[in-house]
Amino acid sequence: MKQHDVAAAFAQMADLLEYEAENPFRIRAYRRAAQTLERLPGDLEALAAGEQLREIPGIGQDLAHKIEEYLATGALAALEQLRKKVPPVVLELLNIPGVGPKTAKILTDQLHLKTVQDLEAAARAGKLRGLPGFQAKKEANILKAITLVKQGQERMDLWTAWGLGQALTAWLEQTPGVKRASIAGSLRRMRETIGDVDVLASAATPARVIERFCASPFAARVLAAGDTKASVITPQGVQVDLRAVVPESFGAALQYFTGSKEHNVQLRERAIRQGLKVNEYGVYELKSGKRIAGREEADVYKALGLPWIPPELREDSGEMDAAAARQLPKLVEAKDICGDFHVHTNASDGRDSLDVMARAGEAKGYEYLAICDHSPSLRIANGLSIERLRAHIKAIKAFHARRKGYRLLAGAEVDILAEGKMDYPDAVLAELDFVVGSIHSGFSQPEAQITRRLVNAMRNPYVTIIGHPTGRLLGQREPYALDYPAVLRVAKETGTALEMNASPQRLDLTDTMARQAREAGVMLAICTDSHAKEQLDYMTLGVGRARRAWAGKASLLNCLPLTPLLAWLGKKRRAVGVH
């Protein structure tokens, strides 16, 4: 989708022009065009081919030329010039959340910064407060943001890693000589961010697989290569570790390289107590040295008197005891998911139309899909006025009226305003099947105030779930302060579910918080928060994250088939006597 690239280029154009204190009208034109392009329903290249660029609102002659230039050359000459003109550190500064062009200007002019490290040092030394428009709080926020950005650069998001892992295993499986292949490491455990991607293959001659891999397009640079392992950097700059073993050791190697390290330590200690030794080649009797397992991962656990432990649980968080007591939970699986709830269309800030999103949900084999666009307060997301919402509800009903066995739920993602007031009046909420209540403003409020907003929202009889309950954005924004035990109590008491947002930038609730919710008897809902049809596939991540929360079907709203789901949705409203 080229429009996102062009939008990013335009947004940077606007930032750099503003840094240079250029004409405000030009700045605004670029910024607005960037927003329009982000939300463009059609394909930009198709529009350009059809000479239709000038029909896009806000795109005049000049911007249309710029788009054509970008599509033809992959760059904008004007932007390249500007990038050369500003001090190099400015581009880095603008990458820090909370630092815009005006702030960057003050920082470079007054502190003569050369690097982000300089900024970090200045902030630590308390040199930012006192600059025009800076308070101690802004200084602290910048420091936090720098830390987040650094962490984000060190680890990749789960979706990026997942895609790479799929491509790697697909490549391995069609490589001559390879018998089996699997992802391993933190990716197989579905951690929220991934340091490097680990993959494993078995073959009669492992060295040959390693050789081919180092010559493959995945290896832009080879860091290290031996007979059984290689570490490479992909063209995208990501590290991949490949291990290749003989088929007899595949299970033992898979167990070892899946980790976590802490889980493996526990496992080895257990082995020693039983007179056994576990390593990446197999399970051995200590005394005789005889090999008793290794080909299958399940056999490794079995040799230690344990059932196979799902990778998502291998974090040394009670899984070993549960396994030994034969009390491992039956975890949710992809096939148990009957639908998705928090899905946007181009009526608000999604890319695809209602029709496209609805069909995409149907194609995934879902029984239902809750369409939840934004409410009016979220202006940057083109939130729906009451009139537009009512038209939207009609269109949703018209769609599923034509379908058998597939139902669109009329929903909305409704902003939780000050003191927990909802962004639509109750009478309007009552017209909806499903309401996601979300906080999109006031993130820096004190804990008591945020908690009050969430609690009051949950007390609203029409609020079905709380969306992205902590508000964090991985690598960009810390969670807001909240009294989580209080939130859990009220969620349980009011029958409000909590979202496990599966968008890779959010993954909110975290796995630990979701586990606490489940243990408190609170219902969880996995939602992709899709803004385009392919994002419905984030469900894969959501299921993995729910498994990390030890969740089975009974804890998840989306495991209810349509009829019991509708009954569940009616329960909260009936309990307070509004329906």
Q: Which residues in this chain contact Ca ion in the complex, by CB under 5 A? A: 185-186, 196, 198, 241
Quick one: what does residue 97 bind among Ca ion, ligand DGT, Zn ion, none, with the CB cut-off 5 to 8 Å set by partner type?
Answer: none
Question: 194 φ, ψ to 5°?
Answer: -125, 130
244 touches 289 (CB < 8 A): no
Whichever of 392 and 545 has its CB closer to Ca ion, that residue is 545
What is the rounded CA–CA span in Å between residue 145 and residue 152? 10
d(CA 278, CA 294) in angstroms, rounded, equals 9
**What's the rounded Cα separation, in Å, for the pair 524 and 542?**
11
CA 202 to centroid of chain Cα atoms: 31
Q: Does 259 bind ligand DGT (CB under 6 A)?
A: yes
297 binds ligand DGT (CB under 6 A): no
257 binds, among Ca ion, Zn ion, ligand DGT, none (CB under 5 to 8 A by kind): ligand DGT
How near is the Cβ of 250 to ligand DGT at its closest, in Å?
15
- The alpha-carbon radius of gyration of the chain (Å, integer) is 26
One of 362, 413, 499, 511 touching Zn ion (CB under 5 A) = 413
The only residue of 152, 185, 411, 467 in contact with ligand DGT, by rule CB under 6 A: 185
Q: Smallest distance from the beta carbon of 529 to Zn ion, in angstroms?
A: 4
Binding-site member from 529, 533, 559, 569 for Zn ion (CB under 5 A): 529
Using the rule CB under 6 A, give the single segment among 255-263, 414-422, 441-449, 508-516 that binds ligand DGT: 255-263
Contacts with 112 (C-beta within 8 Å, 6 or more apart), sequence order: none
Structure tokens, 501? 């947002």
Is residue 264 part of the contact set for ligand DGT (CB under 6 A)?
Answer: yes
Which of Ca ion, Zn ion, ligand DGT, none binds 529 (CB below 5-8 Å, type-dependent)?
Zn ion
Q: Residues in contact with ligand DGT, total (CB under 6 A)?
A: 14
Least Cβ distance, residue 187 to Zn ion (angstroms): 26
- Which of residues 68 and 154 has its CB atom nearest to ligand DGT in the complex? 154
Distance CA 354, CA 207 (A): 51
Rounded (10°) CA dihedral 532, 535, 536, 540: 180
Residue in the block written with tokens 């308390």: 126
Task: Candidates 38-46, 257-265, 334-342, 503-511: pick the segment binding ligand DGT (CB under 6 A).
Answer: 257-265
Q: Which of 58, 87, 177, 195 binds ligand DGT (CB under 6 A)?
A: 195
Tell me: does residue 373 bind Zn ion (CB under 5 A): no
Using CB under 6 A, which of 67, 194, 435, 436 touches ligand DGT? Answer: 194
Judged by CB under 6 A, the residue of 36, 260, 266, 441 near ligand DGT is 260
Crossing angle for the helix pair 101-111 and 116-124, to the nearest 10 degrees: 80
Location of structure tokens 């009609």:
394
Helix (H, G, I), strand (E, B) or coil at 427: helix
Angle at 328 between CA 323 and CA 330, to 5 degrees: 150
DSSP assignment letter at 129: B
Report the interface residues with Zn ion, using CB under 5 A.
413, 529
Task: Tell me which residues touch ligand DGT (CB under 6 A).
Answer: 185-186, 191, 194-196, 198, 256-257, 259-261, 264-265
